[in-house]
Chain A
Amino acid sequence: MDEALYACRFVQFTAAMLIFGAAAFRVYGLPESDTRTASSILAGFDAWFGNVALAAALVALISAMAFVLCQAAAMAGSPAAAVDFAAVSAVLLETRFGGVWCWHLLLATLLVLACLGRHPRRPVVLLLSVGLLASLGWVGHAAMDAGLAGIAHELNQTVHLLAAGLWLGGLVPLAWVLRQARRQPGAFEISVTRDALRNFSHIGYVAVALIALTGAINALLLVGSLDAMFDTSYGRLLAFKILLFLAMVIVALINRFRLAPRISHDSGALRALGRTVALEQGLALAVLAIISVLGTWPPAPYDGRG
């Protein structure tokens, strides 16, 4: 049962971050331009994005529904509850998780509808994807504190997820731009790619800073001390996740300072960038796999106080 919960969470995080990161990338990474070549690149991007967003929204919606069934089984402590109407509706209507998840399901449905048209309205998709990703910050560990502290924890988690989506999700459209530049290495495509890389790294600085800050606050709230970080399996897995994050930052710095400056005169640099961005994507998937598991583990050992 746990594995099904992990899988649903992994798919949720991946799909929501992909839609949000790609929709945001279109805004900051590929600004509108009125030249004909630029608009053909933008049209190509928008067609690609429309397909990716629709697929991801469908996957998000289906796995969000599956997640409710898995939660019903986990909460009732019996797999049969997954197909028991009373248990499933109790999860949706009677629990704090359900209160958030009804909104999440609504947002996923609206996203699918928004992506179904031939020309999805990108601002609408962007707005809905923010909601879809943010709502994931309102279930799980951040939901456990009561009152103001709980809301602060949830907001912190929301910022963490959105910043992560900006970076991790943005790697996918960035790879699309790099693929186009390799396919048609004209002067114009290279300049669009150079601008996109520069814009992506500017956003990346902000995203990495926010991820580190909100992540530190979250770790303080959930783990509490460095000792607990290495004494519990939760803490050790979290430490591993932080190592992967640092590895991503190092790869990103290599991209930014070693490879990106060379792409206009060195086609090898463009190919190398394609590979390092793919490596970053792999690390990003590993991080998402870890948070899918971490969210269902108890963060700290119970010491039997009271």
Chain B
Amino acid sequence: MAPAVALAHAFLDQAAPPVGGTVPASPKEIRLTFSEGIERHFSGIDLATGDGRAVATGAAVVDPANDKQLVLALPPLAPGRYRVRWHVVSVDTHRTEGEYSFAVAP
């Protein structure tokens, strides 16, 4: 049996709301799950509307119960497309970043 291969850089494993998906109502939070534990201080999420205007939020936090999850609490979102830009540093010091979009159904 081959051991699970380690990745060393944190890659996005799961996203809620899902990558490219549409949710029926304004979500309470964005919760990103990465392949590695991440550093709280050097990780964050920026949210913008589909036409590029920044959405004011607090700072993203690492879930105290799971250091692979980065959570951003959201204000009520109007229906429309949103763009999520994330950057994280894995606990073994590597920085990765990415972006995706989701939509809130009218």
List chain A positions with a Cβ less than 8 A from chain B.
Answer: 71, 74-77, 90, 94-97, 139-146, 220-225, 228, 296, 298-300, 302, 304-306
Q: How many angstroms between the C-alpha atoms of A144 and B38 in the bound complex?
A: 10
Partner of A141, one of B14, B87, B92: B92
**What 1/0 mask marks residues of chain B from 49 to 90 whose CB sits below 8 Å from any chain A CB?**
000000000000000000100000000000000000001011
Q: Tell me which of B2, B4, B33, B93 has the highest count of chain A C-beta atoms within 10 A of its own C-beta.
A: B93
Q: Tell me which of A95, A144, A228 has the highest count of chain B C-beta atoms within 10 A of its own C-beta.
A: A144
Interfacial chain B residues near A90, Cβ < 8 Å? 41-42
Q: How many residues on chain B are close to A (CB under 8 Å)?
A: 29
Contact A221 B92 (CB under 8 A): no
Besides the contacts A74-B95, A77-B97, A300-B8, what 12 more A-B pairs have beta carbons closer than 8 Å? A95-B42, A139-B92, A140-B93, A141-B92, A144-B36, A144-B37, A220-B3, A221-B6, A224-B2, A224-B4, A298-B7, A300-B6
Q: How many angstroms between the C-alpha atoms of A22 and B35 in the bound complex?
A: 40
Contact B95 A77 (CB under 8 A): yes
Contact B11 A75 (CB under 8 A): no
Closest to A95 in B: B39
Interfacial chain A residues near B40, Cβ < 8 Å? 94
Partner of A94, one of B5, B39, B67: B39
Q: How many angstroms between the C-alpha atoms of A274 and B65 in the bound complex?
A: 58
Assess whether B28 is interfacial by the CB under 8 Å rule: no
Say whether, besides A95-B42, A96-B39, A305-B13, A228 and B93 are in contact (CB < 8 Å).
no
Q: Quote the shortest CB–CB distance from A247 to chain B (angstroms).
A: 27
Contact A298 B35 (CB under 8 A): no
Partner of A144, one of B6, B11, B14, B42: B6
- Interface of B, secondary structure class, is loop
Q: How many angstroms between the C-alpha atoms of A162 and B90 in the bound complex?
A: 26
Assess whether B30 is interfacial by the CB under 8 Å rule: no
Q: Quote the shortest CB–CB distance from A71 to chain B (angstroms).
A: 6
A-B contact pairs, 14 of them (CB 8 A): A94-B39, A95-B39, A96-B92, A97-B93, A142-B92, A143-B92, A222-B6, A222-B8, A224-B6, A225-B5, A299-B5, A302-B9, A302-B11, A302-B35
Closest to A143 in B: B92
Contact A76 B42 (CB under 8 A): yes
